[in-house]
Amino acid sequence: MKLTILGATGSIGVSTLDVVAQHPDRFEVVALSGHRQIEVLAAQCEKFRPAWAVVGSSEDAQRLAVLLRKAGSPTEVLHGEEALIQIASLPEVDAVMAAIVGAAGLKPTLAAARAGKRVLLANKEALVMAGAVFMSEVRCSGASLLPIDSEHNAVFQSMPHNYVGNMGQSGVRRILLTASGGPFRTMPLDQLAHVTPEQAVAHPNWTMGRKISVDSATMMNKGLEVIEAHWLFNAPADRIEVVIHPQSVIHSLVDYEDGSVLAQLGNPDMRTPIAHALAWPERIDSGVAALDLFTIAQLNFERPDLVRFPCLSLAYQALRANDNAAAVLNAANEVAVSAFLGGQLSFLGIADLIAATLDAVPQAAVPDLADVLEADRQGRTTAMKLLERNGGPAR
């Protein structure tokens, strides 16, 4: 199988290359992309020798090209969004790992779907922002869509093998998405106003990038996953439930009409869903240690506290509103998280800024990509204006 890995220098990309390295007879890396970690990308190119490497700017492209020339690498270096679209739709590529974080990954991920690739979807924003548009491209092109998020991958594994998007016909009652609860699950509420970025990115179970770690701390990450599950499995909002499970051993569950509940369990390591999607429908060694239930000893479950985690409520609100609300939600969240990490906004201010942005942007239909991108632009512009207005609505 020939691969393009979008976002190769991030945690998902690094884990993907780890799995690939264990199976050199099965996988060939054709193209890699990275954003600012040029030295990391150079080392990856030296090891896997892809035909193409893509970075964000011409300056970074020059830096990478110099490093690769010194190493004797044959990799050709490109830069910019059009180059990402190009490597996502190369005729010789079989599968695309879509792991660019945020709205920046939307166009290349959509290009992979349009080209009929096996899309290994780790970029949840493609479905959050443009669910109807993206799923239409998948259906029209005959692309295969395999979820990489541990929760959606677990649901995929627990669904009937012939599931075609009809929960009633398949006897599925509910989808249960598990959540760790992040680092502030038990913190007294009056202390949340003083949370620092360093505390927020210190996830108890998973090693992730800074943005997604903050999303986990606010539970916006789980809210985005609810929207993603809606599109992946054609599930209405009231049939997707979030369950806090601090051990992160049960990755998600499917509740059936006959009373059966099927779950996928495993150690909290993203190489498991990555290996599953790379080899599907086969199974291969991911390098993850076997689950030891005797060491874990117990599994706990809690209902999410929506006072503690208002971002989860905002995501359900956006899903039920439909139209442009999810794209606006995602845009406002990216602005808010960036502001929090930059010291411009308090932790509690993240949800306040998102809520204010949702209230300020008029509802509008998003039938095509241009409308999605306009909703994203309006969400970002509005959130930035609110942020600049006396520091925004931060508490």
Cα angle 327-328-334, degrees, rounded to a multiple of 5: 90
Fold of 2-147: Rossmann fold (3.40.50)
- Dist. CA 312–CA 316, nearest whole Å: 7
In the chain, what's the furthest Cα-to-Cα distance?
63
> CA quadruple 133, 134, 135, 137: dihedral positive or negative?
positive
**Structure tokens that stand for 269 in this block:** 């390591």
At 175, list the tokens: 């989808």
DSSP letter (8 states) at residue 183: G
Domain ranges of the chain: 2-147, 155-296, 322-388
Question: What CA–CA distance (Å, rounded) separates 369 from 231?
Answer: 16
Instruction: Return d(Cα 154, Cα 300) in angstroms, integer.
Output: 18
Q: What is the pLDDT of residue 391?
A: 61
Q: What is the pLDDT of residue 394?
A: 42
Distances (CA, A) of 16 to 10, 113, 226, 345: 10, 19, 24, 34
Q: What is the pLDDT of residue 363?
A: 94
Going by C-alpha positions, the residue among 368, 393, 373, 369 that lies closest to residue 383 is 393
CA distances for 57 relative to 7, 34, 125, 151, angstroms: 15, 11, 22, 34
Fold assignment, 322-388: Rna Polymerase Sigma Factor; Chain: A (1.10.1740)
Using alpha carbons, select from 111, 92, 119, 114 the residue that is nearest to residue 1: 92
Could you give the residue ranges of the DSSP H alpha helices within 56-124? 58-71, 81-88, 106-114
What pLDDT does residue 207 have?
Answer: 65
Residue 83 has which token pair?
């180059």
Of all helices (H) and strands (E), which one includes residue 273?
helix 271-279
Residue 260, Cβ density class (10 Å: 0-12 exposed, 13-18 middle, ≥19 buried): exposed
Cβ count near 240 (within 10 Å): 21
Beta-bridge mates of residue 54: 33, 78
Per-residue pLDDT of the chain (395 residues; tens, 9 = 90+): 999 999 999 999 999 999 999 999 999 999 999 988 999 999 999 999 999 999 999 999 999 999 999 999 999 999 999 999 999 999 999 999 999 987 889 999 999 999 999 999 998 888 999 999 999 999 999 999 999 999 999 999 999 988 999 999 999 999 999 999 999 999 999 999 999 999 998 877 766 778 889 999 999 999 999 999 999 999 999 999 999 999 999 999 999 999 999 999 999 999 999 999 999 999 999 999 999 999 999 999 999 999 999 999 999 999 999 899 999 999 999 999 999 999 999 999 999 999 999 999 999 999 999 999 999 999 999 999 999 986 644 44
